């Protein structure tokens, strides 16, 4: 743990992907994550929200070192893990962190039984003997409420429903007892009736085990039920962050207001509150516009917005926004 009590500290993190147009041409850089900073304490849950292409999945995978960071720092439990080369330290970090993927069907090897899928990380990390691994696997299946476990363990992925398979994915992610879990749109491919069950299950296990969660989603409506903090991401930047309820009740950035406007609401009076849906598409990240990246789509844009990138301003306690409207 860091001296400030943080489990995870991300400082000015960048992840740029090289893009080549031809063999002899100079490479271009797609700036998927471009100068992101935040810190999380043990047991906190944060929702990372944004449109497709905003960089939220890339940020999550870079934090897990599934992508090599281009620049910046990742500090985990007080140790700089940005460019881990030592095999033992990398194995330690892999055991301390986990990923729940979006597609439960694509995330599972079809030729393995559920028992073998859950046993794989235990074997890789040399955890327990055969009997101890069996006990851990059955306990993990019970925790995600796949019972009777003797019926589910010998099945193959194609024999389970999407909701059941996502429970297996959660069990696999948590079986090693990680401190940090990144859940990448874990309910977006499930029926609406199953989504709340899966989110409640993740929240219950997160609180029981004191796990730090990064919940990646494009759906603001689910964040209030899962996380204490919310980070709004646009074009590789975090443009607003703060306590979840406060950001939802009092959105500051025009983009956050646009995301809230997109939430379906059966009450026509509520739908009138935020109807500032911006025109156009997010900017290309190979050559993003100067200044604020939301400026080309913003109805409240000023000349300054097109020239200078706004600083992050603390408008109220722990509620930050990157927007010239609040300077």
pLDDT of residue 266: 58
pLDDT of residue 193: 78
Instruction: Give the tens place of pLDDT for each residue, 37-77.
Output: 999 999 999 999 998 889 999 999 999 999 999 999 999 99
Instruction: Give the tens place of pLDDT for each residue, 15-48.
Output: 999 987 777 778 889 999 999 999 999 999 999 9
Let me know: does 141 contact 118? Beta carbons within 8 Å.
Answer: yes
Let me know: does 278 contact 297? Beta carbons within 8 Å.
Answer: yes
In this predicted structure, the answer to whether residue 105 has a pLDDT above a threshold of 70 is yes
Instruction: Give the tens place of pLDDT for each residue, 136-168.
Output: 999 999 999 999 999 999 999 999 998 999 999
Place of tokens 């970090």: 93
In this predicted structure, the answer to whether residue 286 has a pLDDT above a threshold of 80 is yes
The model's pTM is 0.91
- Percentage of the chain modeled with pLDDT above 90: 70
pLDDT of residue 141: 96
In this predicted structure, the answer to whether residue 210 has a pLDDT above a threshold of 60 is yes
pLDDT of residue 248: 92
In this predicted structure, the answer to whether residue 274 has a pLDDT above a threshold of 80 is no
The arithmetic mean of pLDDT across residues 181-205, rounded, is 87
In this predicted structure, the answer to whether residue 94 has a pLDDT above a threshold of 70 is yes
The arithmetic mean of pLDDT across residues 102-114, rounded, is 90
pLDDT of residue 27: 83
Ordered by where they begin, the domains of the chain are: 8-326 (3.40.50.300)
In this predicted structure, the answer to whether residue 285 has a pLDDT above a threshold of 80 is yes
In this predicted structure, the answer to whether residue 276 has a pLDDT above a threshold of 90 is no
Residue 107 CB neighbours (<10 A): 19
Closest listed residue to residue 45, CA positions, set 239, 204, 238? 204
Mean pLDDT of the chain: 90
Place of tokens 């204490």: 228
């Amino acid at each position: 743990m860091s001296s400030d009590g943080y489990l995870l500290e991300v400082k000015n993190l960048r992840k740029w992907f090289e893009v080549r147009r031809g063999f002899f041409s100079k490479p271009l850089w797609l700036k998927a994550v471009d100068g992101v900073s935040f810190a999380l304490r043990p047991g906190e849950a944060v929702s990372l929200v944004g449109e497709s292409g905003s960089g939220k999945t890339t940020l999550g995978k870079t934090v897990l070192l599934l992508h090599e960071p281009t620049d910046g720092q990742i500090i985990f439990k007080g140790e700089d893990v940005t460019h881990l080369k030592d095999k033992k330290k990398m194995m330690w970090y892999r055991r301390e962190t986990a990923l729940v993927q979006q597609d439960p069907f694509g995330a599972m090897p079809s030729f393995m039984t559920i028992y073998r899928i859950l046993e794989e990380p235990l074997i890789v990390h040399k955890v327990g003997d055969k009997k101890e691994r069996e006990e851990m696997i059955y306990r993990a299946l019970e925790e995600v409420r796949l019972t009777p476990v003797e019926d589910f363990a010998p099945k193959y992925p194609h024999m389970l429903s999407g909701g059941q398979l996502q429970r297996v994915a959660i069990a696999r992610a948590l079986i090693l007892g990680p401190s940090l879990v990144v859940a990448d749109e874990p309910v977006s491919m499930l029926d609406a009736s199953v989504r709340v069950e899966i989110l409640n299950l993740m929240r219950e296990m997160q609180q029981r085990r004191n796990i730090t969660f990064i919940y990646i989603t494009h759906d603001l409506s689910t964040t209030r039920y899962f996380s204490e903090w919310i980070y709004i991401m646009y074009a590789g930047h975090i443009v607003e962050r703060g306590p979840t309820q406060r950001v939802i009740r009092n959105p500051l950035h025009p983009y956050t207001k646009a995301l809230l406007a997109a939430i379906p609401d059966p009450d026509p009076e509520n739908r009138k509150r935020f109807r500032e849906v911006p025109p156009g598409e997010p900017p290309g990240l190979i050559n993003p516009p100067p200044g604020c990246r939301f400026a080309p789509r913003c109805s409240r844009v000023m000349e300054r917005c097109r020239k200078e990138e706004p600083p992050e301003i603390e408008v109220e306690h722990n509620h930050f926004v990157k927007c010239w409207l609040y300077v």
